[in-house]
């Protein structure tokens, strides 16, 4: 298909021959932080994050490092939950369900049959109530956070930035990233929002507020 490649490139060069070779100047006057929030005011940033998640219909539990295990146990029904490698075991200490390790890799059917998946995340964005998973430790591969119907994500307060421009630089684009803003949803029928289609229909977030000090 070299023919197509060369021809398309040649067409582009002909089409843009009238344009200067220099780069177009790009203004960047937009905000670096969430509007109306001082990014240094951690309480305000976390409040915004919790509020925005709540608006999507996600359940938010604010807790501290010492109380993650009991909070998780109360937020996650007993059942079969996928637990990726690197997810701190002590957080599951009070939970009475069955942990499924994804090693060896669970089949799609096994993932589909699981009741839940628990993960950490790579970053979170308060302004849009977004969790970003990069398949790093504690986050699992992408299929594992997709097929179970409940996704519980533990977010450390120091992972929460106020807005997208702060997050983008923290993430590695060469990793597969999943940006999650609330549970799966659709508005394809008469523009009425229906929560829960193909992805997890329930999203639960544990926000660990003093995590800058201690990582569990």
Partner 1 sequence: MSRTFVGWPAFPEAAAAATHDERLRANVTRATHTIRGKRARLVAERPDWEDLRDSAAALKDDVLAHLDSYLLQVEEQVTAAGGTVHWARDAAEANALVTALVQATGEQEIVKVKSMLTEEIGLDNALEAAGISARETDLAAAIVQLGDDLPSHVVVPALHRNRAEIREIFVREMGRHGRPAPDGLTDDPPQLAEAARLHLREKFLKARVAVSGANFLVAETGTVVVVESEGNGRMCLTLADTLISVVGIEKVVPTWRDLEVFLQLLARNATGERMSPYTTTFSGVTPGDGPQTFHLVLVDNGRTRALADEVGRQALRCIRCGACMNICPVYERTGGHAYGSVYPGPIGAILNPLLKGPDDPQTASLPYASSLCGACNEVCPVRIRFTDVLLELRHQVAEGDAAVKHPAEKAALRAIGAVMEHPAAWNAAVRAAGTAGPLVPKNRLPGPLGGWTDSRSVPEIPKESFRSWWKRTDGGTR
> Structure tokens of 52?
């925005």
Which of 64, 185, 210, 216: binder of partner 1 (CB under 8 A)? Answer: 185
87 closest CA partner among 216, 186, 182, 214: 216
* Residues 110-129, interacting with partner 1 (CB under 8 A): 112, 125, 127-129
22, 99, 190 from 63: Cα distances, Å? 52, 22, 38
Residue 139 near residue 119 (C-beta atoms within 8 A): yes
Phi, psi of 22 (to 5 degrees): -70, 155
- x/- mask, partner 1, residues 60-99, rule CB under 8 A, reads ----------------------------------------
Residue 23 found at the interface with partner 1 (CB under 8 A): yes
Query: Which span (59-67, 75-83, 89-97, 104-112) binds partner 1, by CB under 8 A?
Result: 104-112
Residue 30 found at the interface with partner 1 (CB under 8 A): yes
Which of 180, 205, 206, 208: binder of partner 1 (CB under 8 A)? Answer: 180
d(CA 145, CA 116) in angstroms, rounded, equals 8
Query: Which span (61-69, 70-78, 79-87, 135-143) binds partner 1, by CB under 8 A?
Result: 135-143
């Amino acid at each position: 298909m070299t023919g197509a490649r060369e021809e398309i490139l040649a067409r582009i060069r002909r089409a843009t021959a009238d344009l200067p070779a220099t780069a177009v100047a790009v203004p960047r006057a937009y905000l670096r932080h969430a509007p109306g929030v001082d990014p240094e005011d951690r309480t305000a940033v976390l409040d915004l994050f919790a509020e925005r998640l709540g608006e999507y219909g996600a359940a938010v539990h604010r807790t501290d490092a010492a109380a993650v295990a009991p909070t998780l146990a109360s937020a996650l029904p007993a059942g079969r939950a996928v637990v990726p490698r690197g997810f701190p075991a002590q957080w599951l200490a009070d939970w009475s369900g069955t942990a499924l390790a994804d090693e060896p890799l669970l089949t799609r059917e096994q993932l589909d049959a699981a009741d839940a998946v628990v993960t950490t995340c790579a970053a979170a964005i308060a302004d849009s109530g977004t969790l970003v998973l990069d398949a790093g430790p504690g986050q699992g591969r992408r299929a594992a956070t997709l097929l179970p119907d409940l996704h519980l994500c533990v977010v450390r307060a120091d992972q929460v930035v106020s807005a997208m421009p702060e997050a983008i630089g923290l993430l590695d684009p060469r990793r597969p990233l999943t940006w999650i803003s609330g549970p799966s949803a659709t508005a394809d029928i008469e523009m009425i929002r229906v929560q829960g289609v193909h992805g997890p229909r329930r999203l639960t977030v544990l926000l660990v507020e003093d995590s800058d000090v201690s990582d569990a």
